[in-house]
């Protein structure tokens, strides 16, 4: 892969991460799925860039270093958002006795364990 194509893949990967985080909504499973697809595509682009860099197709420059550090920050931020979402949903499932969350018309969890209503909703 030539340097221009590698740079395009890096740029596209970063854009995918930013787009996934901009539309992230942990309460909307369709949005989460779309973000997952964007992040998976971003991983493919980043891996293609990495392969080109490892094979000598990319010349290291100060500008590239700055871009890679920015990409690293974006990846760390995205990882934290996804990890927090996963931890929340795992904790919710554990608190509810591993039942899938369901809610009644008032917004209360429909399948909470006895005595948990006050802990969750005050």
Residue-range domain boundaries for the chain: 3-121
pTM tops 0.75, yes or no: no
Task: Decide if pLDDT at 117 tops 60.
Answer: no
When mean pLDDT is compared over 22-26, 31-35, 51-55, 83-87, the highest value belongs to: 51-55
What's the CA gap between 20 and 39, in Å, rounded?
6
- Nearest residue to 50 via CA among 98, 17, 86, 1: 1
Q: Give me the pLDDT at residue 73, please.
A: 95
41-64 in b/e burial notation, b at 16+ Cβ within 10 A? bbeebbebbeebbeeeebeeeeeb
Burial of 30 (0-12, 13-18, 19+ CB in 10 A): exposed
Q: Any alpha helices (H) in the chain, and if so which ranges?
A: 3-22, 29-54, 62-95, 116-121
pLDDT tens digit sequence for 58-116: 999 999 999 999 999 999 999 898 888 878 777 766 666 665 555 555 555 555 444 44
Output the average pLDDT for the chain.
Answer: 82
């Amino acid at each position: 892969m030539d340097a221009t194509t590698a740079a395009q893949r890096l740029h596209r990967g970063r854009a995918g991460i930013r787009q996934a985080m901009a539309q992230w909504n942990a309460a909307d499973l369709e949005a989460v799925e779309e973000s997952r697809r964007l992040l998976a595509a971003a991983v493919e682009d980043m891996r293609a860039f990495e392969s080109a860099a490892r094979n000598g197709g990319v010349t290291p420059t100060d500008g590239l270093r700055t871009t890679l550090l920015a990409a690293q920050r974006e990846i760390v931020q995205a990882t934290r958002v996804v990890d927090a979402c996963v931890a929340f949903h795992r904790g919710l499932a554990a608190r509810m006795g591993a039942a899938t969350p369901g809610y009644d018309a008032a917004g209360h969890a429909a399948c909470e364990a006895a005595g948990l209503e006050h802990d969750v909703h005050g």
